[in-house]
Structure 1
Amino acid sequence: METIEQVLESKNIRVTAMRMLIYKFLAEKEIAVTLSDIENAFEKADRTTLYRTIKTFEEKDIVHQIDDGTGITKYALCEEGCNCDIKNDLHLHFHCNNCNET
């Protein structure tokens, strides 16, 4: 299994402590998370750093955005084989009305 450092390096992303922490946070989640969820998990971190990290991860196909119909953008780690292209990678994310998770 690849380490976080290896994943980031394979995507030509400079390895930083914050990027590793955010990747680890996302990897431990079984649900899609909002930017607010990430901010709450890293209260002492700069909001801009968190946003830029997520955007970098998105641009490098480490995470993808999810529109689950709630009006709030959520993010999930890409799994192996995910190419983040809606036309070619049709996998589903379900939003549960009972627990309100995606």
Structure 2
Amino acid sequence: MNSNTKIESELNKREIRPTAMRMIVLRYFLEEKNCTSLTELEEKFDHADKSTLFRTLTTFEQKGLIHRIEDGTGFTKFGLCTEDCDCSFDFQHYHFHCINCNETFCLKSLKPQSLNLPKGFMVQSANLVLKGHCSNCN
């Protein structure tokens, strides 16, 4: 199965119509090892319409293909979801933000411990960001 067919299949699996821009953006997420922001995508794809990139990220997030990360930089970043991810609190994982190179990484193998919240409390979202130096900068 060639790369385009694989990307098209992944989009179809999430019920996302495989347009050229969506395929390009998904390929970028699949090839990158770190999370990315809309601004970074705009710089990478300077020929692309900014609103199309924004709508692509919005669609990907709504369909559970990517998830949003607030890493404290002032820029929302996005990371690729795993196939079984439903972006609920139970699927949360840590993120790592390097204070040297400013990259943010998904640490999908590190899961938060279960929380025993007081009665009446209900988690709607969580921001699980560790900060320090990544393996490239350490």
Report what 1:101 is aligned to. Answer: 103
What letter matches 2:87 in structure 1?
Answer: C
How far 1:67 moved relative to its partner? Answer: 0.8
Query: % of aligned pairs identical?
Result: 48
Report what 1:42 is aligned to. Answer: 45
What letter matches 1:30 in structure 2?
Answer: K
How far 1:60 moved relative to its partner? Answer: 0.2
Aligned length in residues: 101
What letter matches 1:90 in structure 2?
Answer: Q
Higher relative CO (Cα under 8 Å, sequence separation at least 6) belongs to 1
Bigger share in strand: 2
Q: State the Cα deviation string for residues 14-45 of structure 1 (Å, max 9, x = none).
A: 11111000000111111111101111111111
What letter matches 1:96 in structure 2?
Answer: C
Rounded to whole Å, the distance in 1 between the matches of 2:46 and 2:101 is 24
- Counterpart secondary structure, 1:44: coil
Matched, 1:63 2:66: yes
RMSD over aligned Cα atoms = 1.4
1:16-95 equivalences in 2 (<5 Å): 16-85=19-88, 87-95=89-97
Rounded to whole Å, the distance in 1 between the matches of 2:9 and 2:35 is 23
| TM-score, reference length from structure 2 | 0.69
How far 1:12 moved relative to its partner? Answer: 1.0
What letter matches 2:100 in structure 1?
Answer: N
Bigger share in helix: 1
Rounded to whole Å, the distance in 2 between the matches of 1:17 and 1:32 is 21
| TM-score, reference length from structure 1 | 0.92
- Structure 2: give runs of 5+ residues left out of the alignment: 105-138
What letter matches 1:3 in structure 2?
Answer: K
